[in-house]
Structure 1
């Protein structure tokens, strides 16, 4: 039986992860972590009596094999580091890690000979969008990204949009796009800039997670779009991660590396 700890188990994604683990043969939920909780009684969260409840990293004592993280950008680095240092395979769905932090965590995991996954997005449509966008960028170097999320999302741009830009940047010919004399009459109106790729973040109620990548060329345009209408759609990817993470030998970035 593979034992699982879920960090952020009281949140929207965390709750879906709880139900996924409970419904999956061969897996057992042994612990939950959520900052600021007032009760340590698992019954208050409709969990079995044997599930340990923690409100702080320093309290955790567990024999979990997998650490599933759906917390906050402010907590994800410390959580991932804790998991690795304690020999727990991390499956990180929380965004907000910097490139330097990812590199440091990969070094820690390598020293421990521990595999894990950092996934900017667990949605299969989002993973395929990134794959397709990277392929298209070889032929369409002029590109912009628009990502749209619910108004409670804590970070911008989304991890998926930033990962999309990074993948495009790997293959995109060195290129200056747009008017070199462009000016902004309203500061920031052109969005964020990742190596010349503009990223625009929309935050509105009613949205869940959506992204479109717009490519333009002489006389033609290409738009690649994905929409996640329900957070349940992410659980397919989480299950893929659960089923494969114990076989990984390093901390990898991107669910596509497990497909």
Structure 2
């Protein structure tokens, strides 16, 4: 029988958070013990969950014993919550992006000090992880590459964490180099997108989209496009479950699900 895992969800009223609540409630060995919502606290009878609601993660973890925090908030809050959870000995599974290298170094040190694990995932969709891994494979042979990521118009960061992570993975097999004509000129600033070691990253924000990315490779007489689409936020829950099941058994920081799938 699987060990019972007590879980706190931060950002539970959001679209991702509501899917995470369903996942926890529908998984036999998961128990939802509290949620965090900065705008509400007290009687939870009007909410969609039958557990205590806190506006502050510190207050929550002082009162509630939990094994895992699932954080699906904003970049700024996610960074703070990750560090707070580790301070309380709670293992964070974080789906927000915007972590700097300095943040990741501090979190890695906290994991070491507390001897517990943390997982930060720019993308929880297993198909998106495969898209990144396939792109890394392709870039070894087709080093001319551009990334187009497309998300809903309420997304706060650009480029997306998935696009940046894809570029980082590609950079491990591709030498930094410029692309396009050496004398090309933008007649409108930003037309060629963000630059990552010569790779261009383009961000699209439109209503109706969820999360989509294509990685385009060009070579002599050929082109390759690797694309992933999430049509519903349910697509991310397989990765959330994989992360929760994994984080309880590790004692270090994992950044990106590509590091825990075969």
Q: TM-score, normalised on structure 2?
A: 0.95
* CA contact 2:95–2:124 (8 Å) conserved in 1: yes
Q: Residue deviations 1:1-37, cap 9 Å, x none?
A: 2100001011110111011101101111011112222
For 1:99, the equivalent position in structure 2 comes to 101
Determine whether 1:2 maps to 2:8. no
Query: The residue matched to 2:195 in structure 1 has which SS?
Result: strand
1:214 aligns with 2:219: no
User: Aligned with 2:159: secondary structure?
Assistant: coil
Question: How is 1:95-244 mapped onto 2 (pairs within 5 angstroms)?
Answer: 95-244=97-246
Given the alignment of the two structures, is residue 57 of structure 1 paired with residue 64 of structure 2, yes or no?
Answer: no
In the other structure, the counterpart of 1:25 is 28
Q: Provide the secondary structure at the position in 2 that maps to 1:43.
A: coil
Q: Aligned residues, how many?
A: 256
Distance 1:110 1:192 in 2: 34
Give CA deviations for 1:112-157 in whole Å, capped at 9, x if unaligned.
1111101110101100000000000101111000000011111111
Shift of residue 175, structure 1, vs aligned partner: 2.5
The superposition leaves residues 217-238 of structure 1 with CA deviations (integer Å, 9 ceiling, x where unpaired) of 1111110000000000111111
Query: In angstroms, what is the RMSD of aligned CA positions?
Result: 1.1
Conserved 8 A contact 1:2-1:65: yes
- CA offsets 1:31-58 (integer angstroms, 9 cap, x no match): 1112222x4222221222xx22111234
CA contact (8 A) 2:150 2:211 kept: yes
Q: Is the 8 A contact 1:67 1:88 kept in 2?
A: yes
- In the alignment, structure 1 segments of 5+ residues that lack a partner are none
Q: How far apart, CA to CA, are the structure 2 residues paired with 1:195 and 1:108? A: 30
What is the rounded CA distance, in whole Å, between the counterparts of 1:223 and 1:215 in structure 2?
Answer: 6
Aligned to 1:11: 14
How far apart, in 2, do the equivalents of 1:106 and 1:44 lie? 38
Query: What 5-or-longer segments of structure 2 have no aligned partner?
Result: none
**Hey, what's the Cα distance between the residues in 2 that align with 1:174 and 1:68?**
36
The CA distance in 2 between the partners of 1:253 and 1:229, in whole Å, is: 24
Task: Tell me how far apart the structure 2 counterparts of residues 82 and 154 of structure 1 sit (CA, whole Å).
Answer: 22
Distance 1:214 1:116 in 2: 32
Local SS of the residue matching 1:59:
helix
Task: Determine the C-alpha separation between the residues in 2 that align with 1:143 and 1:46.
Answer: 44
Please give the alpha-carbon distance, in whole angstroms, between the structure 1 residues aligned to 2:125 and 2:225. 19
SS in 2 for 1:82: helix
Structure 1 outlier segments of 4+, above 6 Å: none
Residues 163-222 of structure 1, C-alpha deviations (whole Å, 9 max, x = no match): 000000111134222112121110111111111111000000111000000001111111
Q: So what's the TM-score if we normalise by structure 1?
A: 0.96
Quote the offset at 1:73 in angstroms: 1.0
Counterparts of 1:244 and 1:58 in 2: how far apart (Å)?
24
